Structure formats: C-alpha cells, structure tokens
A and B are shown apart, each in its own frame.
Chain A
C-alpha cells in the first residue's frame, strides 16, 4: 500500500517536472526580451502629421482619399482603381506575382499597411512619401494608365469630389476648356499624352499638376489609416512583458516559440526585419533569382537618383515640408556597391495574405522564401548580403510557423476597408 502511494507520488512529481520543463523552455534572457519588445506592436509610436503633407491627418482628406482609392474613373480605361491591386482583404496586395493594371507591371504589389512609417516607397525607393508614391501608378501605362488632366477633370466634374476638394484645398481653377485642358495630357506616358501636355501653357500645366498632387495627398491621408493591430506574437510579448507566465499553446504553440527563437537567434533575421513593423525600410541585396540583368534589377542604384531628382520629393515645390524636415532625402546615399540589386525590406506582418513574395513575386510560397535564405546563392547582380541559414527542415518549419503568428488585422474602422 505504501509502495503504491510512493509510485503515485513519484508519477505526479514527474508530471510536474515535465510541465515545468515546458515552461522553462520559454524563459527568455533579458537581452532576448529586449529584442522581443522592440518587435512588439506596442513599440510602434504614434505618427504625427507627415511634414510633406499637411493634410495627412485631416478627416476630409481621409474621406476624399477613401473615395478616390476605390474609384475606377481614375484610370485610362475606367477599369482600374488603387484597390484593383491594393485589395484590402488581401492586406492591400493582389495575390499575383506581378501586378496587373491596364497592362502587365514588372513588380509585385507591396502592401500599404504600415507604410506611413517608411521613409521610402516602391521596391527601389524611388519616392519618399505616400503622396508622391500614389501619383506614379496613376500615370504608368501598365497600371492606371491615366493622365493628370483627366484626373483633375474627374474631381472638377463630380459635385461630391469638388465640394470635398474645395473644403481642403480652396477653390478649383476653371479647367473645363477642352482646348486649354485636353482630357488626356501628362508629361509622361504615351506620345499623344505628352504632346497634348506640351501644347498646354506652363501656367495651366501648373494648375493641373497642383490638383494632381492634392489627389496624391488625399490618397495618402486615407492610406495612413492602415496600421496593423496586434498579432498572436504581440499578445505573447504583451504577456511576457507584463510578467505573466505563458505556457505552451496558451498564445503561441511550442513550434512557433521555437521558430521565434530561430528568428532572433540562429536565423539573425532581426538584422533587417527589425522594429514593430519587422522591417528596417532599407535596401538589401539578398541574391534573388532574376530573369535577366536589366536596369529594372539595379534596385536602389536606380531608385536613389530618381527620388533625388523628383519634383515630387520632400524638398520639392509641392511638398509642405521645411528643409530640415527632409533629412532622409538630404543625406541620401547615392553610390556604393551595396545599393546595386538591392530592394526594400518588406514587412513580415500578414504573410498569409501577401504571397507571392519578393519584388518580382519570385516565390509563390513561404517555404520557397525560406529555402532561398537557407541556401543563399550568390547574387546575379551586385553582391548578396546574406549567407546560408543552414537550418534543418524542422527548423525551417518552425520559423515558418512563427512568421505566420504575425498575422494581424488592420487597426482601423472596417468601413475604410470597403468601397464608400
């Protein structure tokens, strides 16, 4: 009888010990906790008004931008809106390797969520604000394929748009004259479009470009709402930081926690995927496979001089910023081997919705992405900044499970995710 009791006692002690083992495995060092806190969404500071867009927090600008974002009239064929590629239910991406607007784009559609925090836009960083980014696709033949006179006329001719616009930016100039303001004129795009633009007076060109810029600023005000909410990973860190003991499977599974350890340890992923948006918003060459060595693949080498020379940059005439608000542009790096073939580090939040991955949509699955990092081939252009991860198949799986724990809803009133 005594022996039976002893066995029972022994058994329960073993159970307790192994349960504790599971807990102990989760004990993070102070240094690791510091890293986790830096990745936690709670570390994301509130963003003030964008110095280059004084309307960026204005509710009327948000309303106007929301409407324009979903309106297909802002395209050459009336079939493309911002939301055609930046689909809210796919975390503002389109599920395609390469974006498809009026034509076939050469780039994968990046998400908009959290980009208000980025100093650079597009994969090669050729724009330096959300508003100046928004302008380029609108006139790109393969995307919206429209022209700025046409966009200005949509605003001018629609009572709701015109009312909102004038509340924000003041009375619109009269652009109804078809001869002075042709329906499709812009300094870029097809030859007829450019010829029509060149036939306009400089004064009229300036009026139209002013309206075009304000459209960009309204769109940016809307896009600035798209900030990620907490993921399961954030809830896990939240609990750790508040001193709670978190057991396996309570918030993250044991496999996800193992993946997190690899992410901040063996994988050295946080060298670039750091901060609460899991990106340093900088440019890196990671030796991606490319179809051919073209100017398009030069990455930041090509993007940096474009943004420096753009009339729509932070220091340009259309920006609301003061000179000392534009440090990123003022101290931009224009030369260096590290720029060649380098593209912007993407966020790792919402990876379940943003496949395919990379600037050309090279990888259809997260498995392919991780296999790429595990092998880290030499770059086909420039020099790769990564070395093989040398992880086992099990570790790669754990890393993938962790990455998918970063899925998070958008911290915005759901009505902004639908067409107004």
Chain B
C-alpha cells in the first residue's frame, strides 16, 4: 500500500468517527448554582399510595387532571384507610407542600372542600407554577390520631 492510500484510510476512519460521535446529543457540563435549584434526586419515591409517618393511615392521592398540569389550578382526590384497611371518614385533612430545593411552599392555599364518603376527600386549589420537584404533604387528623405523609411529584 502506498503512502497516499494509507493516509486516505486513516482520514476515512476519522470521518466515520466524526459521523458516529456527532449523532449523540452533547453532554451537559457541570451544574450551575441556579441549575442545582432545578435538581431532582434520582432516588425519589413517586408512589401515589403511602403509609403515613407514624403508620396510622394509608393515604392515596390522585390528580383529577392527568398528567398533572403546570400553571393550572385543579383538583385532587384522596382516599384514606387505616392500616387494617378500614376507610377513614369524617377526618380533617390539610394540604401543604412546596419545592424542597427552592425552599418555598405551594403558590396557592389548597384545602379539602368535600368529604365524599367511603374514605374519599376532594382537594381543591392545587397548582404548580414551576417545573421541577414538588412535595405534597397531606396531614390527616381523626380525633387525636394525627399523622402525615409526603408525596413526590415532578412537573415538566
């Protein structure tokens, strides 16, 4: 093989390499401080049914609009059971939450507006105004049996 053919082969390999690598989306560089506020931990539990902190209740939540909308006020529904599986009626329910990385709360003041019976409750006034990681904290009280559960949510 003469010198020219050898150079040609090397260059051809280089060109093929350029084609291959160019197909990939460039990787993001190191995170900026502002970008850290948008950070979403990789190990978050996104389950919509959770046992409360002191294991008094099993709470399920679901948005009445799916997927959960950004910048739109909407409603959620809760179902509350005891650990034994009994439905919890006539409980008082409060809703808080926010963005853990931003350390601010929800943009609205949602509240339970209807006890729908059969352990179900309507939550109105839910809104998420920023993309990223949100927490929804549901606190349930029935008599002295107070407990709460935290749910994770990602808005895109």
Give the B-binding residues of A (Cβ under 8 A). Answer: 2-3, 6, 9-10, 13-14, 17-18, 20-21, 23-25, 27-29, 31-32, 34-35, 38, 119, 265-268, 270-272, 274-275, 280-283, 327-328, 330-334, 336-338, 373, 376, 385-391
Mask, B66-105, CB within 8 Å of A = 1, is 0000110100000000000000000000000000001011
Q: List A contacts of B116 (CB < 8 A).
A: none
Q: List A contacts of B107 (CB < 8 A).
A: 282-283, 333
Question: A6, A281, A334: which contacts B71 (Cβ < 8 A)?
Answer: A281
**Are the C-beta atoms of B109 and A333 separated by less than 8 Å?**
yes
Chain A residue with Cβ nearest B12: A13
Mask, B31-64, CB within 8 Å of A = 1, is 1111111100000000000000000000000000
Q: List B contacts of A23 (CB < 8 A).
A: 22
Which residues of B, 98-156, contact A by the 8 Å Cβ criterion? 102, 104-111, 124-125, 127, 129-132, 156
Chain B residue with Cβ nearest A14: B15
Q: List B contacts of A376 (CB < 8 A).
A: 33-34
- Beyond A21-B22, A23-B22, 6 additional contacts (C-beta under 8 Å) are A17-B19, A20-B22, A119-B73, A272-B130, A283-B107, A387-B36
Q: What range describes how many residues of B lie at the interface?
A: 35 or more
A192 to B109 Cα, complex, angstroms: 41
Q: List B contacts of A29 (CB < 8 A).
A: 25
**Are the C-beta atoms of B109 and A332 separated by less than 8 Å?**
yes
Q: List B contacts of A35 (CB < 8 A).
A: 131, 156
Question: A370 to chain B: closest CB distance in Å?
Answer: 12
B1 interfacial by beta-carbon distance below 8 Å:
no
A331-B108 in contact given A20-B19, A388-B34 (Cβ < 8 Å): yes
Lowest 5 CB-CB distances: which A-B pairs, in order?
Answer: A331-B125, A24-B22, A387-B33, A338-B104, A282-B129
A20 to B8 Cα, complex, angstroms: 20
Question: A20, A265, A274, A390: which contacts B70 (Cβ < 8 A)?
Answer: A274
Q: List A contacts of B111 (CB < 8 A).
A: 331
A389 to B25 Cα, complex, angstroms: 22
A334-B109 in contact given A271-B132, A275-B71, A385-B102 (Cβ < 8 Å): yes
**Are the C-beta atoms of A280 and B26 separated by less than 8 Å?**
no
Q: List B contacts of A338 (CB < 8 A).
A: 104-105
A385 to B129 Cα, complex, angstroms: 14
Question: A274 to chain B: closest CB distance in Å?
Answer: 6
A274-B131 in contact given A266-B29, A331-B109 (Cβ < 8 Å): yes
Q: List B contacts of A390 (CB < 8 A).
A: 32-34
A391-B23 in contact given A17-B15, A333-B107 (Cβ < 8 Å): no
Among B18, B32, B38, residue most surrounded by chain A Cβ atoms (within 10 Å): B32
Q: List A contacts of B104 (CB < 8 A).
A: 336-338, 385
Q: List B contacts of A32 (CB < 8 A).
A: 25
**Are the C-beta atoms of B131 and A6 separated by less than 8 Å?**
no
Q: List B contacts of A25 (CB < 8 A).
A: 22, 26
A333-B15 in contact given A274-B70, A275-B71 (Cβ < 8 Å): no
Chain B residue with Cβ nearest A275: B71
B4 interfacial by beta-carbon distance below 8 Å:
yes
Chain A residue with Cβ nearest B73: A327
- 29 residue pairs of the A-B complex, CB under 8 angstroms, read A6-B4, A13-B11, A20-B22, A25-B22, A25-B26, A27-B23, A29-B25, A38-B70, A119-B73, A266-B31, A266-B34, A266-B35, A267-B35, A268-B32, A271-B37, A274-B71, A280-B129, A280-B130, A328-B73, A328-B108, A331-B73, A331-B124, A331-B125, A333-B105, A336-B105, A338-B105, A373-B34, A386-B37, A390-B34
